[in-house]
Amino acid sequence: MQDSLKANFPTFSTELIQEIESNAIHQSYKAGDVIMRTGQYINNTMLLTKGQIKIYREGENGGEFFMYYLQPGQACAVSMICATKSQTSQIMAKATEDVELIMIPLTLMEKWMMQHRSWYEFVIFTYRTRFEEVLEVVDSIAFRAMDERLEFYLKRYAEASGSKDLKVSHQEIATELNTSREVISRLLKKMEQRGLVSLHRNQIELLQ
Nearest-angstrom CA–CA distance, 61 and 41: 22
Nearest-angstrom CA–CA distance, 57 and 63: 8
In the chain, what are the helix, strand and coil shares in percent, each to the nearest 5?
Answer: 50, 25, 25
Nearest-angstrom CA–CA distance, 185 and 181: 6
- Nearest CA to 94 out of 154, 158, 9, 175 is that of 175
> What is the second-level CATH architecture of the domain 2-141?
Sandwich (2.60)
Q: Are 23 and 108 in contact (CB under 8 A)?
A: yes
Q: What angle do CA 165, 170, 172 make, to 5 degrees?
A: 95
Q: How many residues does the chain have?
A: 208
> Measured between alpha carbons, how far is residue 145 from residues 9, 81, 142, 177, 198 in Å?
38, 32, 9, 12, 22
> What is the second-level CATH architecture of the domain 146-206?
Orthogonal Bundle (1.10)
pLDDT tens digits, 51-84: 999 998 887 776 778 888 899 999 988 778 765 5
User: E-strand spans in 85-191?
Assistant: 92-95, 99-105, 165-166
Mind listing the pLDDT tens digit of every residue in the chain (208 residues)? Answer: 788 899 999 999 999 999 999 999 999 999 999 999 888 888 888 999 999 999 988 877 767 788 888 999 999 887 787 655 667 788 899 999 999 999 998 888 888 999 999 999 999 999 998 888 888 878 877 778 899 989 989 998 898 888 899 988 999 899 888 888 999 999 999 999 999 999 988 889 998 7
Domain residue spans of the chain: 2-141, 146-206
